[in-house]
Chain A
Amino acid sequence: MNLSQIDLLAAGAAVLAVWTCGVTRVKTQLLGLVGQTTLLAGICVLLGLEEAAWHMLILALVVFSVKAVGIPVFLGKAAERIGIVRDRGVSNNSTLILLMGCGLLMLGYFMTPHFAVPTMMNRGAAGMALALVFIGMLLMVTRRLALSQVIGFLTMENGIFLYGLTQTNGMPLLMEMGIVFEALVGVMIAGVVMFRINRSFEHIDVSDMRGLRH
């Protein structure tokens, strides 16, 4: 299979997501998210230049400023205010989760022929988008703190965004902007909820909240 430049950038984003799986420091996880989203914005720019579609460049700018700068800075500030540094994860073994992320990336890679749209140029990116969604789910399942689960959610959102970007002929700018800002609002609400949880329970460790079910 021949990989185009866009496929390579998508693969880089997926590898960064796998790397995030093995990291326990919240600030470093956020750095992984920044890198991943920046690569997606790069794909946006490349697509825009290829098709001479200027609205793609605007979209890249919005994605970069909201998802690669705004949200990570907000989450970093939130982590500082709540006073958390590390998320040791549910299994206490980050290497295991790293290997699981690696496996999910491969799963996405092998699913490429089933999910790629045959008429599109960058078919490899479809598998990587799928891998991002899987890894986002893995991150949400295996993290202990609400904050790093939000990072998993954003990774998943990035995967869906990447799929839409490379496998469709492009959505209207308004729709894309709407999705980006919706993610922003989601993260803001999650942040507020996190402060609330922190104030009521003095921590944001969700695995200690099982008692609420009974």
Chain B
Amino acid sequence: MSMPLSIAIHLINLLILPLLLTGIIRKAKALMQNRVGAPLLQPFYDVWKFLHKTETVSGSASWIFVWSPRVGLAVALAAAILVPWTGALLPPGWAPATNFLLVLYLLALGKFFTMLAALDTGSAFGGLGASREATISMLVEPTLVIGLGALALGAGSTDLLTIYGAPASPFIAILTGAALVVAALAELSRMPVDDPTTHLELTMVHEAMILEYSGRSLAIIEYTVALRTCILLGLAMQTLLHAWPALQALPVLSYYAVSLSGLAALGISIAVAEGVLVKLKWRSVPNFLAFAAVLSLLAALIAAAQGGV
């Protein structure tokens, strides 16, 4: 792909898509509940509004509280550039940086700082949210690593660009894709695990952690969360698209269009699921995530049994 085109697509990916996807999910969810809902571009207005508000920082908070949203943003931006979540855009020369383990643990680093910041202000809800977030990410991590590991085993490389460039067995791709969708739901604190719109502090996971934030930091957090949503759902969508080898042969721009419509479809189906499903009891979250873990375990064992492609 030519350099200017690659840069243009990256700019669209980083600046417009994340908040637009959030808007699409919210709008679809509102329609599912028979509401009109906020305009499609409301997340953009929200971020703009937060940027112009005064920020309040608790007197007992340390530098971690101020810096953790910035660290999260930097890490998410790096991951968004490295992960081919709308199809391969980087030249193959980036190989060591696009290792899937590096990207996964970069995202985990961002989450680690969010949890530290939640504990930093000493609010009870922050601690509660952080402990739940830590538990969920511990349960999700094997799914992500084993699932992507299965794909890596099939492609013979841990490099994401190579994985998504090589043909894969459709069975492994579908199993891993389904596992990644479930893992992404938990990782992004979405419906069966956590209700993103709840305002009952005792049940919140993600919202409880960012309760103390305001102003510019909140704007950064909103954008980072949108970006993470894009990365994880995009990764799941790419894995599912990987099951149809015919799509690989498409020219770059048409594949980009296919990826975007796939991403939008995934967002809308999440909104529909959120309209239909009820939130799980905290006790049964591990059972729910076990299904995802088993899916990726199956994919990995089959990849190992096939010994490559």
Given contacts A15-B175, A22-B291, A95-B287, contact A3 B298 (CB under 8 A): no
Main secondary structure of the interface of A (DSSP, over half): helix
Contacting residue for A3 out of B169, B286, B290, B301, CB 8 A? B169
**Nearest B-chain residue to A102, judged by Cβ:** B294
| Interface residue tally for chain A (C-beta within 8 Å) | 18
| Interface residue tally for chain B (C-beta within 8 Å) | 16
Given contacts A15-B298, A18-B298, A105-B298, contact A1 B290 (CB under 8 A): no
Cβ distance A102 to chain B, nearest Cβ, rounded Å: 5
**Is B170's CB under 8 angstroms from A102's CB?**
no
Query: Is B231 close to A, CB under 8 A?
Result: no
Query: Is A74 close to B, CB under 8 A?
Result: no
- Inter-chain contacts of B297 with A (CB < 8 A): 102
Contacting residue for A109 out of B170, B286, B291, B302, CB 8 A? B302
- Inter-chain contacts of B94 with A (CB < 8 A): none
When each residue 284-295 of chain B gets 1 if its CB lies under 8 Å from chain A and 0 otherwise, what string results? Answer: 001100110011
Cβ distance B301 to chain A, nearest Cβ, rounded Å: 5
Cβ distance A100 to chain B, nearest Cβ, rounded Å: 10
- Inter-chain contacts of A78 with B (CB < 8 A): none
A136 to B306, CA, bound (A): 25
Given contacts A8-B170, A15-B298, A18-B298, contact A98 B290 (CB under 8 A): yes
- Inter-chain contacts of B306 with A (CB < 8 A): 1
Query: Is A99 close to B, CB under 8 A?
Result: yes
Query: Is B305 close to A, CB under 8 A?
Result: yes
Query: Is B171 close to A, CB under 8 A?
Result: yes
**Nearest B-chain residue to A95, judged by Cβ:** B290
**Nearest B-chain residue to A93, judged by Cβ:** B287
Query: Is A201 close to B, CB under 8 A?
Result: no
A135-178 residues with Cβ-Cβ distance < 8 A to B are: none
Cβ distance B175 to chain A, nearest Cβ, rounded Å: 7
**Is B171's CB under 8 angstroms from A3's CB?**
yes
Cβ distance B228 to chain A, nearest Cβ, rounded Å: 27
Apart from A102-B297, A106-B298, A109-B305, 14 more pairs, CB < 8 Å? A3-B169, A8-B170, A8-B171, A15-B175, A18-B294, A18-B298, A22-B287, A22-B290, A95-B286, A98-B291, A98-B294, A102-B298, A105-B298, A106-B305
B interface vs A, CB < 8 Å?
A: 169-171, 175, 286-287, 290-291, 294-295, 297-298, 301-302, 305-306
A interface vs B, CB < 8 Å?
A: 1, 3, 8, 11, 15, 18-19, 22, 94-95, 98-99, 101-102, 105-106, 109-110
